[in-house]
Structure 1
Amino acid sequence: MAMSTGGNSGGPMSEINVTPLVDVMLVLLIIFMITAPLMSHSITIDLPTANPKTKDAEVVVPPLDLAVKPDGSLYLNDHPVTDAELRAQFAVDAQKTPQPELQIRADKTTEFKIVKKIIGDAKDSGMVHVGFMTTDAPKG
């Protein structure tokens, strides 16, 4: 208990009462002493170790580059293909492990329904990785 001795000044005391702080710290100490032993795991598990020699990142699969012209003509890796040939190629590449990424480069005047049909064909064949190629924005 803090008491003021002497003096007629009835102003506030400038000393900090640390008793509540000590009480809170002791309660926290007791809580942590009780809960710390509960944090250890009683079940031991033999975890697998990673083998850096067999990473999938080392296998580089070239992407499928599909160019779509405004008239709807398709070029797979710079070779003209028909719609049926493209679907057959999607079916073959969807079975590969790891699966190559399909990168679509469509002209900005190409109708979206053509691109939508290509994406649908790729999805139906089992292709998972589909990306769109763009050009950089002009700087200025």
Structure 2
Amino acid sequence: MALSFATPRGAEGDTPMSDMNTTPLIDVMLVLLIMFIITIPIQTHSVAIDLPQARPDRTLPHPDPVKNKVTIDASGIIRWNGAAVDRLTLRRYLAASLRLPVEPELQFQPDAAARYVIVDEVLADIRRSGVENLGFVGNERYAAF
């Protein structure tokens, strides 16, 4: 910090004027920035993973033409008619059931201990698929909550 005495226009006498010299501060900050950039390791390694290839002969099992049941247990596992499925497979099953001549009833039964996020995501998938014949199963258990 440098102090200098300057005389403003039209003023009698000397008044102190202080200006901070920011050049050393900027220099130090730039040097630190460059040091941090240099010390960051470059991520050039890769992990080779053999991904499964899609088989065109693979077909989805046919959904039940009368009713299908989607359940979510306490650990978050989604089941279609008792078989564990992931969300992508669930969407495929929903699309296959909608291609039937008469839309089958879809029964939805989440466990009370299932995480809300998973239940919400599955309900969103059901809604996006266009299912109109949906029923909630097991709500009578929670009537005396």
Task: Report how many aligned residue pairs link the two structures.
Answer: 80
What is the match of residue 78 of structure 2?
74
Aligned to 2:111: 107
If each structure's strand is expressed as a fraction of its own residues, which one has the higher value?
2
What does the per-residue CA deviation read over 1:59-78, in whole Å, with 9 as the maximum and x for residues that have no partner? x9421111101221011111
Tell me how far 1:137 sits from its aligned partner.
7.0
8 A contact 2:65–2:100 mirrored in 1: no
**Identical positions, percent:** 23
Q: Structure 2, unaligned stretches of length 5 or more?
A: 1-63
- Runs of 4+ in structure 1 off by over 6 angstroms are none
For structure 1, the residue ranges without an aligned partner over 5 or more in a row are 1-59
Question: What code does the residue aligned with 1:113 have?
Answer: V
Q: TM-score, normalised by structure 2?
A: 0.48
1:136 to partner: Cα distance = 5.0
1:56-67 correspondence to structure 2 within 5 Å:
61-67=65-71
Name the SS for the 1:124 alignment partner: helix
Correspondence list, 1:1-140, <5 A: 61-134=65-138, 135=140
Distance 1:99 1:91 in 2: 10
Q: Structure 2 CA distance, aligned partners of 1:110 and 1:89?
A: 22
- d(CA) in 2 for partners of 1:88 and 1:118? 13
TM-score (norm 1): 0.50
Give the helix-richer structure, 1 or 2. 1
- Greater relative contact order, per chain length (Cα 8 Å cut-off, separation 6+): 1
